[in-house]
Chain A
Amino acid sequence: MSRLILQSAVSGLLVGGMYGLVALGLALAFGVLKVLNVAHGELLMLGGYAAFFAFTLWGLDPIVSIPLVFVGLSLFGVILYFTLFRHVTRLALGPRIKNSLLLSFGLVLVLQALAVRLFTGDERTISTAYSSDAITIGWLRVPVVRLAGLAVAVVAALLLEWVLTRTRFGLALRATSEDWTRAALTGVNVGWVYLTAFAISAGLAAVAGSLIGLGYSVSPSIGLGWTLKALIVVVLAGLGSMRGIIVAGLFLGLTESLAGVWLGGEYREIAALVLFLVVLSIRPEGFFGSAHA
């Protein structure tokens, strides 16, 4: 029994790293633009397909194609920003969030239907030569592709945190996220900050998609599920810290996994949502968030 628990805990942490990575981009867009992009998971799905086709058509290893997928979907993010989200950012805070929800939900439907049309509804997994490799510690099995996913998630979070705290651009991002009017009065080109933050957010979703295509699977309908997980993670962590988001992701993955073992598989999702409700009611600013963020 304890073997099962430990193995489940490891699987939970590995998938939790993905939750965290997906949540990074969502938190960035929400924190800076105050735009709740529920189509974040669809960007992830597109990233997964991009990595899948780069592998099957050109033989590009998904780890190698990560930077390309990041850039590609960032550019797609630029297009989405100019055509859709830019118009929402002109609104006041309340209507901004509501309209971004409506807009991005529409985008979910469009991108999903488009993906079914272009890629069919089949589930795809990127099967590399090392896909079934695992590190075994005694009887504990850690699949390398999933471990790579967790590693990328941690690196992405540290990198993003470094940008936010150590660069001028990060300073502009933090200022804009606190108060965009004051940021503009300080000389920050707020439109540019919005554009870049949204592009990075889309790129991060795509990186998560690549890793999910490698360690798990992609299909046109996976988006909303991942978005929901990412939303839970953002609520758990709050908007203060990127590292905190990864930690919250791990925590969610672990909770789900252990609930699955102890209570039965059907309780996984329920445990996640109960956790979500409990944190929302006890500490609405999240574990690592500050009240004003």
Chain B
Amino acid sequence: MLAVDGLEVAYGDLQVVWGISFEVPEDSIVAILGPNGAGKTTTLLALMGLLPVTGGTVTFGGDPLLGLQTHKVVERGVVMVPEERATFASLTVEENLELGAFTRRARSAVDETKSEVYEIFPFLAERPTQRAATLSGGERQMLAIGKALMARPRLLILDEPSLGLAPIVVENTFRVISTIREKGVAVLMVEQHVEKTLDLADHAYILEMGRIVADGPGSRLATDSRVRDAYLGL
């Protein structure tokens, strides 16, 4: 569904992503793993049209995605939850969700989508008027994902969804991600919890210094000696 071919991204003269290629098939969970500064977040932001791309092509459902403004990318059904507290702190839970369904495509089905989101995150239904700023870190992350689902994504991009969360909340987050896939939404995620992620992902790519150095099904990478040495510390 999403096909990235030879993507290059640079901040001015500083090139960060060096011709990477990967794909996200329908109904799959694909992960990008790698150390800090490898270019993971940069790659995601470039897909969303938030950073200028210097080379390569990206197609989504066969149509080119690069060069579109961010809100157009969202309109196409590619929705990203950025790193950490990606909600609007000054808005209420309800307003955050309403805002999530901002695109024309999502607006027409807002009530239906909202009940689906409430089904996944029941606590959101209980406190519609609470400001996002006063939610706990885990709740805010759930709201951020719920808000992204309100846009009715075909591909959900998650940037380190478990960052800064308590272990039990991390468990919950991973469970939610697999629920989302079951609902027919493909997931592309960047994560630090390597072992859990490999367990969940159908396919994973290892990104180092802006280049993909290994890839394969999650279960196979989990047993790959290089990956184990570098990331799992086993």
Q: Which of B159-198 contact A (CB under 8 A)?
A: none
Q: Which of B98-112 contact A (CB under 8 A)?
A: 98-100, 102-103, 106
Known: A174-B91, A290-B90. A189 touches B69 (CB 8 A): yes
Which of A174, A179, A184, A293 makes the CB contact (< 8 A) with B71? A184
Contacts of B99 in A (CB 8 A): 171-172, 175, 186, 188
User: Does B20 have its Cβ within 8 Å of any Cβ on chain A?
Assistant: no
User: Does B3 have its Cβ within 8 Å of any Cβ on chain A?
Assistant: no
B103 engages A187 (CB within 8 Å)? yes
Which of B82, B91, B95, B98 makes the CB contact (< 8 A) with A185? B82
User: Does A143 have its Cβ within 8 Å of any Cβ on chain B?
Assistant: no
User: Does A66 have its Cβ within 8 Å of any Cβ on chain B?
Assistant: no
* Residue total for A at the interface (Cβ-Cβ under 8 A): 20
User: Does A3 have its Cβ within 8 Å of any Cβ on chain B?
Assistant: no
Q: Which of B50-79 contact A (CB under 8 A)?
A: 50, 69-71, 74-75, 79
Known: A174-B91, A292-B133. A186 touches B102 (CB 8 A): yes
Contacts of A181 in B (CB 8 A): 50, 82
User: Does B212 have its Cβ within 8 Å of any Cβ on chain A?
Assistant: no
B74 engages A182 (CB within 8 Å)? no
Contacts of B79 in A (CB 8 A): 185, 187
Contacts of A182 in B (CB 8 A): 82, 86, 88
A186 engages B100 (CB within 8 Å)? yes
A186 engages B74 (CB within 8 Å)? yes
Known: A172-B99, A172-B102. A188 touches B71 (CB 8 A): yes
User: Does A190 have its Cβ within 8 Å of any Cβ on chain B?
Assistant: yes
B95 engages A178 (CB within 8 Å)? no
User: Does B211 have its Cβ within 8 Å of any Cβ on chain A?
Assistant: no
A187 engages B106 (CB within 8 Å)? yes
Measured CB to CB, the closest approach of chain B to A149, in angstroms, equals: 31
B133 engages A187 (CB within 8 Å)? no
B50 engages A175 (CB within 8 Å)? no
For A184, A188, A290, which residue has the most chain B Cβ atoms within 10 angstroms? A184
Specify the chain A residue showing the minimal Cβ separation from B86.
Answer: A182
Specify the chain B residue showing the minimal Cβ separation from A189.
Answer: B71
Contact with B along A169-212 (1 / 0, CB 8 A): 00110110011011011111111000000000000000000000
Measured CB to CB, the closest approach of chain B to A192, in angstroms, equals: 9
Known: A171-B95, A175-B99, A191-B69. A186 touches B151 (CB 8 A): yes
Contacts of B86 in A (CB 8 A): 182, 185
Contacts of A172 in B (CB 8 A): 99, 102
Which of B88, B106, B147 makes the CB contact (< 8 A) with A179? B88
Contacts of B133 in A (CB 8 A): 292
B88 engages A190 (CB within 8 Å)? no
User: Does A168 have its Cβ within 8 Å of any Cβ on chain B?
Assistant: yes
A175 engages B91 (CB within 8 Å)? yes
User: Does B48 have its Cβ within 8 Å of any Cβ on chain A?
Assistant: yes
**29 pairs of residues in contact across A and B, judged by CB atoms under 8 Å:** A171-B99, A172-B99, A172-B102, A174-B90, A174-B91, A175-B91, A175-B99, A178-B89, A178-B90, A181-B50, A182-B86, A182-B88, A184-B50, A184-B69, A184-B71, A185-B70, A185-B79, A185-B80, A185-B82, A185-B86, A186-B99, A186-B102, A186-B147, A187-B79, A187-B103, A187-B151, A190-B71, A292-B89, A292-B90
